[in-house]
């Protein structure tokens, strides 16, 4: 059995679209700001923390967890704190290239112990369209930015704000499918 240690509706949809049978485990892990950690280290720490917190809930099975952040001008950008913060984030990202990092962890549990652990990080570059203040406000009427790293949803087609993607599209959504398929033996 696969257990998804995430409450992200986007990760849930990605797994459903792949035809993976899974159950949700809400991780007890609380993400924290780690001083001096770059985006790679941070998403690894958070993804592993989520998986380990969920590992206490099952004895046997495979646990999948992930964490995603946006990285721009040497700053890590997670989920916005409020709508003003979301607006400020999009004002800074509009018309700019930035990077999206997702850390992903797979734990294989057997008799309450971790039998195998796979930790990986994927990076995708994203270019947003230039937007005015009015266009950002209109975008927020279509998309709730508060549960998304970087305050935008790359997967929105109609009225989307992404101009170009270099790398894994699904990674920027929140789960690098290509990487997940490479370790397919763990999810069969």
How does pLDDT run across 96-148, given as a tens digit for each residue?
999 999 999 999 999 999 999 999 999 999 999 999 999 999 999 999 999 99
Mean pLDDT of the chain, nearest integer: 92
Count of domains observed in the chain: 1
Question: Annotated active-site positions, please?
Answer: 67
| pLDDT class of 187 with cuts at 50, 70, 90 | low
pLDDT for the residue 32: 82
Contact in structure between 50 and 5 (CB atoms under 8 Å):
yes
Confidence of residue 1 (pLDDT cuts 50, 70, 90): confident
Q: Number of H helices and number of E strands within the chain? A: 6, 7
CATH assignment of the domain containing 43: 3.90.950.10
* Mean pLDDT of the 54-67 span: 95
For residue 103, the cross-strand partners are 67, 121
- Which H or E run contains 90? helix 83-93
The residue ranking higher by pLDDT, 1 or 80, is 80
Q: Which domain holds residue 7?
A: 2-186
CB-count burial class (<10 Å; 0-12, 13-18, 19+) for 81: exposed
Kind and range of the H or E element at 141? helix 133-142
The answer to whether residues 137 and 145 touch, using CB atoms and an 8 Å cutoff, is: no
CA 178 to chain CA centroid, Å, is 14
Q: What percent of the chain has pLDDT over 90?
A: 81
Q: Which of these, 141, 136, 127, lies nearest to 169 by C-alpha position? A: 127
Q: How would residue 186 be classed by pLDDT, with cut points 50, 70 and 90?
A: low
| pLDDT more than 70, % of the chain | 97
Among 64, 55, 63, CA closest to 14: 64
Q: What's the confidence (pLDDT) of residue 184?
A: 61
Burial 49-62 (b: 16+ CB within 10 A, else e): bbbbbbbeebeebb
Cα–Cα nearest to 147, from 74, 53, 80, 52: 80
148 φ, ψ (degrees, to nearest 5)? -130, 130
Give the residue from 125, 151, 108, 121 showing the smallest Cα distance to 42. 121
pLDDT for residue 188 is more than 70? no
Assigned token pair, 52:
């380990």
The predicted model gives 164-173 an average pLDDT of: 95
* Structure confidence at residue 164 (pLDDT): 95
């Amino acid at each position: 059995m696969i257990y998804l240690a995430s409450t992200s509706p986007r990760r849930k949809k990605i797994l459903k679209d792949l035809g993976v049978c899974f159950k949700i485990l809400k991780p007890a892990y609380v993400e924290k700001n780690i001083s001096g950690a770059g985006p790679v280290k941070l998403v690894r720490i958070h993804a592993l923390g989520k998986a380990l917190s969920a590992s206490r809930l099952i004895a046997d099975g495979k646990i999948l967890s992930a964490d995603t952040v946006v990285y721009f001008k040497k700053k890590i950008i997670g989920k916005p704190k409020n709508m003003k913060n979301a607006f400020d984030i999009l004002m800074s990202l509009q018309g700019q290239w930035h990077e999206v990092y997702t850390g992903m962890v797979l734990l294989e549990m057997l008799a309450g112990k971790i039998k195998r652990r796979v930790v990986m990080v994927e990076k995708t570059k994203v270019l947003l369209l230039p937007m005015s203040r009015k266009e950002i406000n209109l975008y927020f009427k279509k998309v709730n930015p508060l549960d998304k790293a970087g305050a935008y949803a790359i997967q929105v087609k109609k009225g989307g704000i992404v101009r170009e993607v270099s790398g894994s599209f699904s990674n920027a959504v929140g789960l690098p499918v290509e990487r997940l398929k490479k370790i397919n033996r763990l999810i069969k």
